Structure 1
């Protein structure tokens, strides 16, 4: 077979496989899965991911280990109930500190999602640090990942290699980005999370959130929800849209 013809056929084959994979993933995604109320098939040792995401993470983990970096998962899949426990704990704490309900919610959504809207519901996202170094008291702080912090070498390695395995930082430090604050530990497996987000955007999140029985949910006005969707859910790394 001539080289040009071989390349054309090969390319078509790859496109075909990608289309089938994408279609299969779409057909298997339910509203319950997207909102953390389903029962997805998850795998992993000490963490939970969808199969393809776990396969890619395992390869990335092995590559990092060869450089003396031990990828340690701090958080992976969270169901709706788990996210709601985080929400309630923070909501009660901020109210007790003297914040009004809406100010408490604004404080929470600097880093934590409203239950039902978390990317961690999808089994595609991970909070990762370097387990080969002495662990600071609170591992998920920006200062630990820069300027000689304990996870600086990890961050540098991830900056240069994570994309090769399909993982992208979700909440970047790009100037002008809104929504959740910069999280140098939160990575998403794009081949699976991109179609998940596309399906999530088809949901009537406004109705879902307004009917949810959540602490403070009476403050979920139409204006608040639209702003939350535009900034917290969609103002992310463009590679994940």
Structure 2
């Protein structure tokens, strides 16, 4: 797997060994070129996805709502520069890079860079917590998300070494039947 020079420099500054790319079977993703606004959070942050993923998300969200399940976005597109900020914040709090890389992808390796990944929550329920798997939203997503092209990226014991993330779903065109 090839690590672009600009990422190699960033990784070096953060203390991330390039070997982790192969050790964790990580991909390097290009950042999304075209994004559309899909949702505005209560704090004013605007969540964005690529147009096709946005269309699939909105269709899935509407169907879930018609089934009595409200789905909201906790996170969507994230630039590599934002990934660097998140890692630096955790480093400044005294966490080791090994601990951090169990919950955050190295810059350039996050599905969020693609504009296809979303972190989902159900209002009134846990946000970006494993307990999300106990919600009716997770049960609904587990049954129907694939029909809209979304799949759970990081199940238990995933090959990438990330913690289980029942909230993290990524859109892939070939999966969807209704989008």
| TM-score tier after normalising by the smaller chain length | 0.7 to 0.9
CA distance in 1, matches of 2:158, 2:169: 20
TM-score, scaled relative to structure 2: 0.72
Matched, 1:73 2:56: no
1:114 Cα deviation (Å)?
1.1
Matched, 1:123 2:105: no
1:192 Cα deviation (Å)?
7.5
**Alpha-carbon distance change, 177 to 80 in structure 1, aligned in 2, over 3 angstroms:** closer
Which of 96, 101, 106 is residue 109 of structure 1 equivalent to? 101
Equivalent residue number for residue 140 of structure 1: 128
Equivalent residue number for residue 169 of structure 2: 187
TM-score, scaled relative to structure 1: 0.54
**Alpha-carbon distance change, 48 to 176 in structure 1, aligned in 2, over 3 angstroms:** closer
- Whose strand proportion is higher, 1 or 2? 2
Aligned length: 143
CA distance in 2, matches of 1:143, 1:45: 23
CA RMSD of aligned residues (A): 2.4
Detail structure 1 runs of 4+ shifted over 4 Å in the superposition.
175-178
Structure 1 unaligned segments of length 5 or more: list them.
1-30, 96-103, 147-151, 194-241
- Whose helix proportion is higher, 1 or 2? 1
Q: Is the 8 A contact 2:121 2:137 kept in 1?
A: yes
